[in-house]
Amino acid sequence: MKIIYMDRKNRIIKGIVERDDDLWVLYKMVVSKDRVSGYTYRKESNSVDKIRPEKMSKVRIYLTIEVEELLFHEFTGVLRIKGIIVEGQDVGKYHTFSVSIGDEIKIEKKDWNSSYDKLLSDSSKPSAGDKILFIVMEGNEAYIALMNGYNINEIATITANFGGKYYDESEGEKRSFYKEVLEVIKREIQDKRVVIIGPGFYKEGFFNWLKETDKSVADGIHLYKCSMGGINGIYEIMKSGILDTLLKDIHIYQENVYMERLLYEIASGNKYSYGREEVKRAIDNNAVETLLVLDELIHDDTITKFIDESTKHGSGLFIFKATNDNGKKLKSLGGIAALLRFPIAT
């Protein structure tokens, strides 16, 4: 998100939505009773007499609403914010902002906590918009998915008619399969880095064909080995550390890094805490290196106090998305955990 103006003391932010992930950030930041302002469209009657049917036209106006309800479905790319108009035309009536990429929006929050600073800081980084297109080749199947910010979304799964052993199928069937995969890559490649992974030599077979068929697409593609196909192959390659440089600023990758470290500490170390009671004790002892919080809890009064107190002590903060695999793991641990600077007595 491009931040145009921010007044933390008065809890005012003004910015421009630059990518889909910014809509998720706004969805997590804006709550009931906050005020949202922006340009929008309202219907206005053009009727000149009462005999003819009224004609309605949309007029662009600037409004401020007091928020009552938010609705966000990620695949639509639109955040709907509904509330009562408190400034502008038709004060007292309801209006819904439909916020999408390119829109400018102003938010006046009723209160503030440090999680909002973290969300805005992460979303305003240039690297926050990095997108990785994964092609996972396994046998006669290609799993294609996009990693961007907070998500891994499946784009396509292409299955060929031949079996898993390449020497058993005709060259014609193989080329047809490869061409179908290439068509998807060409459709999706803009502004993305491409990584081809998979077990065995299936990825090399496709990549060698790609270099001969379309060198412009093949140039710059990263090729790595993993032992599993599908989305499991992507998680495996994330855990391996091979793509650290490529993925280091992508939120969902960082989620995986923090969760792997937490699980390691739980299994074999002692510099961790999870659950409200244990985390509070760690904060009271100024032992928290990084606080890990589920996005569903950032408006919880107790969790808010934990966040503010730990950040005052110089602790880091990382917010997990509840719908991701690692977010579900954190939820099973109470929705809040901490990586510690030093162990504390239980």
Q: Does this model's pTM top 0.85?
A: no
In terms of phi and psi (left: phi > 0; alpha: psi -120 to 50; beta: otherwise), the region of 218 is alpha
User: What are the start and end residues of each CATH 3.30.420.60 domain in the chain?
Assistant: 131-247
Query: Taking 60 as the threshold, does the pLDDT of residue 163 lie above it?
Result: no
What average pLDDT does the segment 98-105 reach? 93
3.30.1390.20, 3.40.50.2000, 3.40.190.10, 2.30.30.870: CATH of 2-127: 2.30.30.870
What average pLDDT does the segment 146-156 reach? 88
Q: For the chain, give the secondary structure using H, E and C.
A: CEEEEEECCCCEEEEECCCHHHHHHHHHHCCCCCEEEEEEEEEEECCCCCCCCCCEEEEEEEEEEEEEEEEEEHHHCEEEEEEEEEECCCCCCEEEEEECCCCEEEEECCCCCHHHHHHHHHHCCHHHHCEEEEEEEECCEEEEEEEECCEEEEEEEEECCCCCCHHHCCHHHHHHHHHHHHHHHHHHCCCCEEEEEECCCHHHHHHHHHHHHCHHHHCCCEEEECCCCHHHHHHHHHHHCCCHHHHCCCHHHHHHHHHHHHHHHHHHCCCEEECHHHHHHHHHCCCEEEEEEEHHHCCCHHHHHHHHHHHHCCCEEEEECCCCHHHHHHHHCCCEEEEECCCCCC
Query: Taking 60 as the threshold, does the pLDDT of residue 206 lie above it?
Result: yes
The CATH code of the domain at 131-247 is 3.30.420.60
Write down the mean pLDDT value for the chain: 88
pLDDT tier at 121, thresholds 50, 70, 90: confident
pLDDT score recorded for residue 234: 93
User: What are the start and end residues of each CATH 3.30.1330.30 domain in the chain?
Assistant: 257-340
Cα–Cα distance measured from residue 34 to residue 82, given in angstroms and rounded to the nearest whole number: 11
Nearest to 337 by CA among 320, 322, 313, 323: 320
What average pLDDT does the segment 275-284 reach? 96
pLDDT score recorded for residue 19: 84
Cα–Cα distance measured from residue 70 to residue 296, given in angstroms and rounded to the nearest whole number: 14
Tens digits of residue pLDDT in 294-329: 999 999 999 999 999 999 999 999 999 999 999 999
pLDDT score recorded for residue 51: 55
User: Token pair for residue 149?
Assistant: 């910010």
Query: Taking 70 as the threshold, does the pLDDT of residue 24 lie above it?
Result: yes
pLDDT score recorded for residue 130: 77
Query: Taking 60 as the threshold, does the pLDDT of residue 47 lie above it?
Result: no
pLDDT score recorded for residue 145: 95
User: Token pair for residue 76?
Assistant: 């639509």
Class of domain 257-340: alpha beta
Asked if 29 and 22 count as a contact pair (C-beta separation under 8 A), the reply is: no
pLDDT score recorded for residue 260: 93
Query: Taking 50 as the threshold, does the pLDDT of residue 166 lie above it?
Result: no
Asked if 82 and 67 count as a contact pair (C-beta separation under 8 A), the reply is: yes
User: What are the start and end residues of each CATH 2.30.30.870 domain in the chain?
Assistant: 2-127
Tens digits of residue pLDDT in 225-239: 999 999 999 999 988
Of 36-45, 50-59, 120-129, 247-256, the poorest mean pLDDT is in 50-59
Cα–Cα distance measured from residue 235 to residue 256, given in angstroms and rounded to the nearest whole number: 8
User: Token pair for residue 331?
Assistant: 């939820």
